């Protein structure tokens, strides 16, 4: 078998929202199709991938470096031992040939996007859900199809008042979520507190709020917020300072006893390892949000999970950023603590297969081959236009 083509298209996922650092008025993503010559149900198997929100489409890197490397490689060098399927680790090594270490910037997003499509193809060729394949190859053999999800929103919308914020959050509760997230750091502390209290005022017992500063704060501000946020029983306090400022994160732990979360902007195992070594994160309560779609894909994420294990961290402390089905499959296959979800944003790319309902903040993954994109009609329509044209 061989890869016949790799196609990329850059799509808008823009909206007028902003967090403490960026607005999303020009946000895009790359959608990738990896076309193989393997025939299933009378059609070539095509794997699909896309990158998460927050970084932009990676078309030029994919077209200039990663696509040609794969297509120019000897087809057999990309296969597993059976010779009947791709080996994602070999494809990854091929993409990363002649790439120096460090400086993980945008290329990790390009590689992560192609890697997602490779895993989708591999699981489809095996005729299994990706979560099943992962549980068999790297997990305990049995996936856990019920995955915790929380609703991320609470962005700064133009003109949104407190009532509109409450309505937004109520909408998530009505759809079955028990944990909701809102942004902080995009206004004054006093305004943020009004917004936090507005949300808390509508949360029933058993439901929780997480807050996300998107790396905006210096140490002084992060600590100021920590002191005030300590009065609430928050689900977590996320990305207070710059993602690479491990000393800030470590110092913050001296001022905030509740759970903290970070990692969505760490794009390699090595960066994640530095967070674990130097960031003062606490394995008994904190959360790790590394997102494979931004950070060299699942091949690298497997290395990150191994690194975590060596440092005494359970995969159940990981709740990835990004709200995509790839991380849902990894969560189900390898026992992560859950996944992010953006019920009202970044469509059609985020979310779940059609008909999957959130109940008590849990989704149950259906048995679809691959990652499961074909189960979401609006998403699959976009994918099919690229991959089956």
To ligand OAA, the closest distance from the beta carbon of 373 in angstroms equals 20
For residue 28, the partner it binds in ligand OAA, Mg ion, none, with Cβ less than 5 to 8 A by kind, is none
- Token representation of residue 336: 């992560």
| Interface residues toward ligand OAA, by CB under 6 A | 19, 54, 152, 212, 214, 264, 321, 340
Catalytic residue among 183, 208, 324, 376: 183
Query: Is 183 among the catalytic positions?
Result: yes
Which C-beta is closer to ligand OAA: that of 56 or that of 138? 56
CA dist., res. 125 & res. 257, Å (int): 47
Nearer to ligand OAA, 120 or 340 (CB): 340
CA atoms within 13 A on the CB side of 170: 9
Q: Is residue 340 near Mg ion by the rule CB under 5 A?
A: no
Q: Which residues contact 84 (CB under 8 A, 6 or more apart)?
A: 1, 125
- DSSP letters, 56-115, are ---HHHIIIIIHHHHHHS-GGGGB-TTSSSB-HHHHHHHHTTT--SS--TTHHHHHHHHH
Q: Which stretch binds Mg ion (CB under 5 A): 126-134, 204-212, 248-256, 279-287?
A: 204-212
> How far from 125 is each of 35, 38, 353, CA to CA, in Å?
12, 7, 20
Among 8, 87, 168, 212, binds Mg ion (CB under 5 A): 212
CA trace torsion 211, 216, 217, 222 (10° rounding):
10
Smallest distance from ligand OAA to CB 339, Å: 11
Of 113 and 214, nearer to ligand OAA (C-beta) is: 214
Known active-site residue 311: no
The one of ligand OAA, Mg ion, none whose footprint includes residue 154, by CB under 5 to 8 A per kind, is none
3-state secondary structure 181-247: EEECCCCCHHHHHHHHHHHHHHCCCCCEEEEECCCCECHHHHHHHHHHHCCCCCCEEECCECCCCHH
Which of 115, 212 has the CB closer to Mg ion? 212
319: buried, middle or exposed (CB in 10 Å: 19+, 13-18, 0-12)?
A: buried
Nearer to Mg ion, 131 or 287 (CB): 287
Task: For the CB of residue 214, give the shortest distance to Mg ion in the complex, in Å.
Answer: 6
Of 128, 181, 182, 321, catalytic: 321
| Residue 56 C-beta: closest distance to ligand OAA, Å | 12
The distance of closest approach from Cβ of residue 261 to ligand OAA in the complex, given in angstroms and rounded to an integer, is: 8
Nearest of 134, 125, 110, 109 to residue 46 by alpha carbon: 125
Rounded CA gap, 261 and 270, in Å? 18
Cβ atoms of 204 and 228 closer than 8 Å: no
Q: Which does 54 bind (CB under 5 to 8 A by kind): ligand OAA, Mg ion, none?
A: ligand OAA
- Binding span for Mg ion by CB under 5 A among 20-28, 89-97, 165-173, 210-218: 210-218
Residues 79-98 that bind Mg ion (CB under 5 A): none
Tell me the catalytic residues. Answer: 183, 321
Q: Which residues of the chain form contacts with Mg ion (CB under 5 A)?
A: 212
């Amino acid at each position: 078998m061989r890869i016949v083509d790799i196609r990329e298209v850059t799509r808008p996922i823009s909206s007028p929202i902003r967090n403490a650092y960026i607005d999303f008025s020009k946000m895009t993503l790359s959608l990738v199709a990896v076309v193989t010559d393997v025939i299933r149900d009378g059609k070539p198997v095509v794997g699909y991938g896309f990158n998460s929100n927050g970084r932009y489409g990676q078309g030029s890197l994919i077209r200039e470096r990663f696509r040609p490397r794969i297509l120019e490689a000897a087809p057999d060098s990309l296969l597993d031992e059976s010779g009947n399927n791709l080996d994602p680790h070999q494809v990854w090594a091929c993409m990363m040939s002649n790439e120096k270490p460090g400086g993980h910037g945008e290329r990790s997003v390009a590689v992560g996007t192609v890697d997602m499509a490779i895993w989708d193809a591999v699981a489809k060729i095996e005729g299994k859900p990706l979560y099943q394949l992962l549980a068999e190859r790297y997990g305990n053999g049995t996936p856990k199809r019920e995955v915790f999800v929380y609703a991320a929103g609470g962005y700064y919308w133009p003109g949104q008042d407190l009532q509109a914020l409450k309505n937004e959050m109520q909408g998530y509760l009505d759809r079955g979520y028990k944990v909701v997230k809102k942004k902080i750091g995009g206004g004054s502390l006093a305004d943020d507190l009004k917004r936090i209290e507005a949300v808390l005022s509508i949360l029933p017992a058993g439901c929780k709020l997480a807050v996300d500063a998107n790396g905006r704060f210096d140490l002084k501000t992060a600590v100021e917020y920590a002191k005030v946020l300590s009065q609430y029983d928050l689900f977590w306090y996320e990305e207070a300072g710059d993602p690479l400022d491990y000393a800030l994160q470590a110092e913050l732990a001296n001022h905030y006893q509740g759970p903290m979360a970070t990692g969505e902007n760490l794009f390699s195992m090595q960066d994640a390892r530095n967070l674990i070594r130097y960031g003062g994160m606490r394995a008994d309560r904190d959360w790790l949000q590394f997102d494979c779609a931004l950070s060299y894909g699942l091949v690298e994420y497997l290395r990150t999970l191994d690194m975590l294990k060596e440092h005494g961290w359970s995969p159940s402390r990981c709740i990835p950023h990004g709200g995509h089905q790839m991380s849902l499959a990894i969560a189900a296959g390898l026992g992560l603590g859950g996944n992010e979800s953006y019920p009202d944003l970044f469509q059609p790319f985020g979310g779940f297969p059609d008909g999957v309902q959130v109940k008590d903040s849990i989704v149950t993954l259906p048995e679809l081959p691959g990652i499961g994109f074909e189960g979401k009609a609006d998403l699959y329509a976009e994918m099919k236009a690229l991959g089956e044209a």
